[in-house]
Structure 1
Amino acid sequence: MSITHTATVNGGRTSRKPVRLIARLRQEFVTNPCDNDRQFIPCGKLKELCDEQAVTQELVRAFPEHDAAFCQLRARLICHGQAEDGSVTPQPCLRIFTILVLLGQTRLIETFLQHKLCDNDLPFSSKPGFTALYSPQHQDATHLSFSDEEDPYHIIKSFSNDQWSVLAPCFAPPTARDTRCDVHDLHTHTILPIEEISKKQYPGGFGLVEKVKIHRDHNGFRHEHFALKTMHPMAPDERDKFFQQELDAFQQARPGGHIIEICAAFKKGEKRGFLFPWADGGTLNHLWRRTPHEIVKSARVEWSEFSRWVCVQCHGIIRDLFAIHEPYVMSAKKDEDLYGIHGDIKPDNVLYFTQDGSSLGTLKVSDLGLMKFHRLISRTAHSKSMGFAYQTYRAPEHDMNKVRSRKIDIWAFGCLFAEFATWAMGGHNAIEQFKNYRLDEDKGNSDESKGEWSEDNFFILKTNLFSQNKVAKRKSSVDENKMSNDDFSKWFTVLIKDLGPDMTNTFFPEFLRFIQNSMLDPDRKHRADCKAVESFLGRLLAISPESPYWKFSGTRSYPNGGATWTSSTGTPTW
């Protein structure tokens, strides 16, 4: 490859001069904005610019004492690993050559070739004081001292620093079928191939999440943007424990579906990180701020398809969580089976991908960093501490010092599904009204342990007059019971009633009743497990999409600010 540019000379005449390879390489540098603006050359551009012709031209310039045939043979060896006898080895040294061109030391390529060093031997390390270069990967650990050069210290130091510009890693799906993602063990000086990064950071388990764009030459996935999750600084043992814990969680999960895919993981010096597809629709909270009318209109679907989509999403989430809740056989012994608990189910940990799945998009559970795995033989003994849980979605067991079990995820999803159905039927304002009802009821419940605080959760604790023990009960706003004229706080009842009498046996009423009776049972022994929830929703999805069961007239307008909601009959519902 030879590129020229036009220059003006005396008398107005122009001449075409070839652009030096070093200038073309420098023009292709990409700045990584999250790594002190360090720069890298995309691997595709490096191969494009440093083709055999361009390398030959650079060698002719660097070795005027040799003829063109010598330079052509050397270029073939540099680019393809092809020796003079025509034999081919998969060991080119094009990256080494590029580094030397950028340093203005092209002639030193002969030293590397004589010592049979190639790109596989990168990165090179330097001896103390930059007195020599050597490759830790090379079996002979040959030391290159460049003693005949004018300033060997500068050459070795510059090579050590500049080599990282051609060593940005490539991220691609794993080749092994039984591996969810490749784990890249990177040098602390490696430059990640990131060309864009968002200014906003998002919390994510034990780290921070940022939206990044990976250069296309280094991106083997169909996604252009990724969520880069970098773990918080912590003690090495603790850091590696949580890093491996998250990897194990994704390895345990069923690939695809409604658990977010993990694209890559990496170790980079003291840093640990993960790459996930970026959710273009944000979290479930972002979805709930949009009106269902907007979603349905943009997708150009009927309301019946929207109601069925709600069921599909909830079923898919539970189905894939079931793959984690139930044992994944790690060995032939039953007591070696693993059971997983997410433990931090909340809307911020459910992501909305608008371009995946159906025209309405797909919901996926994220942040498996808090996932806990327990072996069957010891899961109860290891689960005494309930640990962290988001306030709104925490199960009654947290407040009653019960053992940790997989049922806490079912309770959390029961809360989340209740809000999801509320949004589908009444929009974001309805979710806020539901929240206000729960808070108001909490204010009226006397609990000395909380003082004057009111909590937005789905249960209250009552003291048994005889045993003085605490008993968990659903808040009345979560119940679906008959109301008296003075009791308008039973939220599920209100939602179902406002659908109208002809909707009693359709999807939303049946789903709400199941949530209330089976998923939000304060007694975890009677609460449904993952299999029961999946079975229930799977049975509903077996109903034909054309069935009146999915009938839904659309989301009702719900006033903001807690105003009275008028039912379809024109009478106040509270």
Structure 2
Amino acid sequence: MEAPRIQINSGESETDSDKEVDIGVLEPEGATKGENPQKQLRKNRYPRHEEEPFWSYAILRRIVTKEFVLEVLKATQQSSQQSRHQDIQLLAQIVTGSGGLHTSYVKIFAILTLLRKESCIGDFIDGKVCDDDIPLMECTTDKECKSMLSRRQTPDCALDCFSNWHIDEREGFVRWQPLLDIVYLGLDQARNIQHLKLRPGITFPWVRYDEVESGGYGRVYRAAAPSDCHEFNDVLRAIKFKNSFAVKELRKPEEKRMKKDEAHFWREVNMLKRFSGILHDHLVTLLMTWCIDNKHYFLFPWAPCDLEKYWKKKRNWSLDLQTGCIERETMCWISKQILGITEALHRIHNPTHLKLAEPKFGRHGDLKPENILWYPSTKDRKGILVIADFGLGSFNSVKSRSNIPGEGIPTTPNYRPPECDMEGGKINRLFDIWTFGCLLLELTCWALGGEKHREAFEKKRTTPYITGVQTDIFFEVQKLEDFTDYVIKRKREVTKWIRDLHNHSACTQYFHDLLDLIEDRMLLVLTPTQNRIDCSDVLKKIEVMHSQVLQGSSPYSQISCPQKRKLKADVAFRTKLNKTALGEINRDQGRNLGVHRGEVRQSKDPNQLSALGP
């Protein structure tokens, strides 16, 4: 096969992952003198790794023109055509669907050309077997195994247009079909996200398709499609889209889990539809979904990396030598991304855009660096951070509330809040505030000291959990000196690290304010008199902070002013643990519990925790 000509676009990138080609549109070559039509078709295909190349419908339309059909039909000297098909001008018009015709035979004619049976086009036109009928299927009444073909709608009715063909010719038609009948990726007619039920073996327009991740949920593939095989360039506003996709394939459910997994799939789909990049730039955009043989798929724009991987990349800025703090462009970008993520989370928590009769509230349920994606951006050369993965998200009214107990969250996620171990604790919007606080604290570590500083913080707060496993969660369970009760508190290592960040040589007033917000309003154990801050109030605070960052050479974010803060009191909160936490403690008789010797206050009791809103 001759090398295809694919337009390549490249540009300046923020990360190494972004320095990749953009798969554009194949530009068909004109026929050279004496070149047969089969060669012209074959040399204008999109390549696929280890699979046969394919034609997009757009490519076929550009090749199989009225002029192309005329030349082919002239060369074949259609002496066998019926009288009404003697006019090859009319045939060419019918094949290409020109002149106001609503049907076309472009795919049919291309296959006939590849099989050197162009002269049979009249039989297909007589039988009205057009492009809309592709793919044809093997006739169910073909008892003699002659590979007779039929329409999908009438599988028991063999098509007359194949009656004089040899078996190998009919089989050749079947083999070519999938390479011309390609799934077109796009929205539905109302410009909404569509869900397709597709048959096994259907051909997608992937010129690359590589597995990049797998787990208990399924697999994630990186796929690339030519731009004439999808319509998403106009959908994605804030990110640079290079025709590269992430395909999330959910595992095929077992029979006993079918209904449960189906419900989970549609819950995530509905969350992604309600809260998408079309609504806000800092929310991930679901492009479409499909199902093949009870296996479900999501399609997203491909992100070069998540925030966890972005942090690990070499920092592409330095401190301003005159001020000792982060140079202005990067400081504005960091503040802008924090504001954007806060706005996006606020949209989830308070979805007034949905205009529902009964007010409802969303939550994400799994904020963490792996679920914040970095994309190259059309609006910022440093890119954009986007909230993704709504697999644990929910949408509730005040009456319905979340009924998912906190103890249902696995013990390993390092951002899990204290109520996951408390009797009556539920996953609600306050859950998101804790996890967002953890995220902002790690981001601050990275901004001031780079990835090494963030990793040092992770190592510092890694202590034995009640299971005996070393974990880097931000809170801990301890027992009182008299062993009468259990208490829960933010880890002392976290409090000390926040104090030290205030004294970091690059710390500005912006970061002092951010650290105070995190420590005093977000990373809190819930008590009768103390709730975490609402996302609306977080947004108000972040908006004020960002406006000060944008004020020219404002000392607010451009002059370092480290502060020696006094370490805050070591306060723990007496609590009733849930059955899961108690079971872990009893398993090894509490040997992994530390002893709290400081001030003790009361946390919310189980009834108060259960009564919290959605």
Provide the TM-score with structure 1 as the length reference: 0.79
Q: Is the partner of 1:392 in helix, strand or coil?
A: coil
In the other structure, the counterpart of 1:74 is 91
Quick one: which amino acid aligns to residue 389 of structure 2? D
Pairing 1:5-404 to 2, within 5 Å after superposition: 18-33=34-49, 37-65=51-79, 70-82=87-99, 88-128=100-140, 129=142, 132-136=148-152, 143-146=158-161, 148-151=163-166, 153-172=167-186, 176=190, 179=192, 181-198=193-210, 201-203=212-214, 206-222=217-233, 223-224=241-242, 225-235=244-254, 236-254=258-276, 255-280=279-304, 282-294=305-317, 303-327=327-351, 333-334=357-358, 337-381=359-403, 383=405, 386-388=408-410, 391-401=413-423, 402-404=425-427
Q: Is the partner of 1:394 in helix, strand or coil?
A: coil
Does 2:496 align with 1:496? no
Change (3 A) 1:47 1:329: closer
Cα deviations across residues 59-99 of structure 1 (Å, max 9, x unaligned)?
A: 233443169961121011110254xxxxx222111112112
Distance (whole Å) between structure 1 residues aligned to residue 457 and residue 406 of structure 2: 32
In the other structure, the counterpart of 2:557 is 550
Distance (whole Å) between structure 2 residues aligned to residue 322 and residue 204 of structure 1: 30
Contact 2:448 2:504 in 1 (8 A): no
Contact 1:195 1:215 in 2 (8 A): yes
Quick one: which amino acid aligns to residue 167 of structure 1? D
Deviates more, 1:345-354 or 1:103-112: 103-112
Change (3 A) 1:343 1:310: same
Does 2:453 align with 1:430? yes
Change (3 A) 1:305 1:169: same
In the other structure, the counterpart of 1:8 is none
Distance (whole Å) between structure 2 residues aligned to residue 3 and residue 436 of structure 1: 63
Contact 1:303 1:553 in 2 (8 A): no
Q: Is the partner of 2:362 in helix, strand or coil?
A: strand
Contact 1:305 1:545 in 2 (8 A): no
Distance (whole Å) between structure 2 residues aligned to residue 329 and residue 375 of structure 1: 15
Contact 1:329 1:338 in 2 (8 A): no
Q: Is the partner of 2:399 in helix, strand or coil?
A: coil
Identity across the alignment (%)? 25
Contact 1:253 1:321 in 2 (8 A): no
Contact 1:352 1:362 in 2 (8 A): yes
Measure how far apart 1:188 and its partner are: 2.0
Does 2:533 align with 1:528? yes
Provide the TM-score with structure 2 as the length reference: 0.74
RMSD: 3.3
In the other structure, the counterpart of 1:418 is 441
Contact 1:22 1:102 in 2 (8 A): yes
Distance (whole Å) between structure 1 residues aligned to residue 318 and residue 298 of structure 2: 31
Distance (whole Å) between structure 2 residues aligned to residue 72 and residue 295 of structure 1: 69
Contact 1:346 1:390 in 2 (8 A): no
Deviates more, 1:232-241 or 1:406-415: 232-241
Q: Is the partner of 2:289 in helix, strand or coil?
A: strand
Measure how far apart 1:326 and its partner are: 2.5
Contact 1:386 1:403 in 2 (8 A): no
Distance (whole Å) between structure 1 residues aligned to residue 209 and residue 147 of structure 2: 38
In the other structure, the counterpart of 1:570 is none
**Count of equivalent residues:** 506
Does 2:462 align with 1:462? no
Contact 2:104 2:130 in 1 (8 A): yes
